[in-house]
Each structure stands twice: as C-alpha cells, then as structure tokens.
Amino acid sequence: MNMDLFQQDNPQQVDVLALGPGSSFLCGFLLPDAGAILAEVSQVTAQSPLRHLSTPGGQKMSVAMSNCGTLGWVSDHAGYRYQAEDPLTGKPWPVMPALLLERAQQAAHLAGYQHFQPNVCLINRYGIGARMGLHQDRDEQNLTAPIVSFSLGIPATFIWGGLQRTAKSRRFLLKHGDAVVWGGPDRLRFHGVAPVKADEHALTGPVRINITFRQTGP
C-alpha cells in the first residue's frame, strides 16, 4: 500500500515519482515556501559568501558554493573534504536554518527515508553557462544516508548516470521548486548538470540555486 496516498502523510499531495530503486523526484515540493527558502539562503551567504572553489587539479569551478550546518564541503589543491570552518572567513559555517532542515527531512520522509539527520547543507549557485561535470558523491562517511536536493530559480538539465562512469545516462529537467531524494542502491550513481541555458526567474533572476543536504556521520 502506498502510504503517501493518505492526506496526513503527504498534506501537500505532491507527486512522488520513482527515479530508481532508492530515489524519488518530488515535483514542485518547494513551491509553497520557495521565497522563504531563498531568504534563508541569502542569510547564510551573507555570513559565508558564495565563492568559486578550485578543483584539486587547479581548475576554478563554474558553480559558486557555500555551506551551512556543522560541516561544509570544500575543495582546493589538497583535495575534496568536509570541514567545520569556512576557509574564507575562518569561522564555523552558519547554522542550518530550521525551515531548510524541516523541508529536507519532509522530502526524505516522503521518499521513504524516516531517520534522515542532515548536518551539511551545500549551496550551489549556477549563473548562465555554469555546469557540473559527471561525479559521484562519496566524500560522506555515511553512504547509507540519502542526499536531498532542492532546485530553485531557472531550470537545469540533470544528467543521471549509472554506477559506472561509462554507463548510459538519462537527462531530466530540474525546475524551480523540485526536490530529488536519492540513496540506497542509487546513492553512488554518477551525475552532473549540463551548462545552464540563458533564462530568468522572477525570484532569482538569471540564476539557479541548488541546495543539497547530506548526513556525513552516523
């Protein structure tokens, strides 16, 4: 029986589409509070500004990043890692706003993950033309926890691959308000974002914001 059919479990009656055995697409999940979420993101980035990190190979990333939570994801010549201080400010990352945490846990719950306790919230800002190459998310110590991903602003084409880099990939559009939850057998799928096409959104202008929630520990 699909419990999501009951109003009390899914009061928004959001469509939950299976993308794979451990992953769900929640179409329009964030639409009721997109403005409030973007305001929280602005509060975070006022304290820990968005910046273009360098890859270990020395390339500047086209996506600008920041974090909130007890740890943040960073990249530099020394590699990819999570750390408790923002290297730009030398201070701890801003606290994860309650609304972001609550909505991430609701999304995980709707997708069948009941005990998601994210401690990291990675904020990605895409301008026109920004992209993210095919990668796996494997810097988290806890690979049994899912990742919850929120998309706001202008749309982007998500590239959804397989467990091997060379596996055939599918593409789908991530639009303003969409959430994706993935874990279980899909947790280590390769994925990326195609160069963002010129567009404007009333709430963000010519920008896409992606927020991913991760649980790095037990």
Stretch that binds Fe ion, among 54-62, 120-128, 132-140, 193-201 (CB under 5 A): 132-140
- C-alpha 76/C-alpha 65 separation (Å) is 13
Q: Report the nearest approach of Fe ion to the CB of residue 191 (Å).
A: 6
Stretch that binds Fe ion, among 23-31, 86-94, 137-145, 201-209 (CB under 5 A): 137-145
- C-alpha 144/C-alpha 18 separation (Å) is 18
* 137 near Fe ion (CB under 5 A): yes
In the complex, the residues that contact ligand MD6 under the rule CB under 6 A are 124, 132, 137, 147, 149, 158, 180, 182, 191, 193, 210, 212
Going by their DSSP bridges, the two strands 23-27 and 132-135 should be labelled as unpaired
* 40 near Fe ion (CB under 5 A): no
Q: Are 130 and 165 in contact (CB under 8 A)?
A: no
Tokens 């880099």 map to which residue?
165
Q: Are 93 and 84 in contact (CB under 8 A)?
A: yes
* 178 near Fe ion (CB under 5 A): no
Q: What number of other Cβ atoms are within 10 A of residue 187's Cβ? A: 20
What does 147 bind: Fe ion, ligand MD6, none (CB cut-off 5 to 8 Å by kind)?
A: ligand MD6
Maximum distance among all Cα pairs of the chain, rounded to whole angstroms: 51
User: Please, which residue, 10 or 25, has the CB nearer to Fe ion?
Assistant: 25
User: Please, which residue, 180 or 207, has the CB nearer to Fe ion?
Assistant: 180
Stretch that binds Fe ion, among 63-71, 91-99, 105-113, 130-138 (CB under 5 A): 130-138
In terms of Cα–Cα distance, which of 119, 116, 52, 118 is closest to 92?
A: 119
With CB under 5 A, what is the number of residues at the site for Fe ion? Answer: 1
User: Please, which residue, 52 or 91, has the CB nearer to ligand MD6?
Assistant: 52
- C-alpha 77/C-alpha 70 separation (Å) is 23
For binding to Fe ion (CB under 5 A), which residues are involved? 137
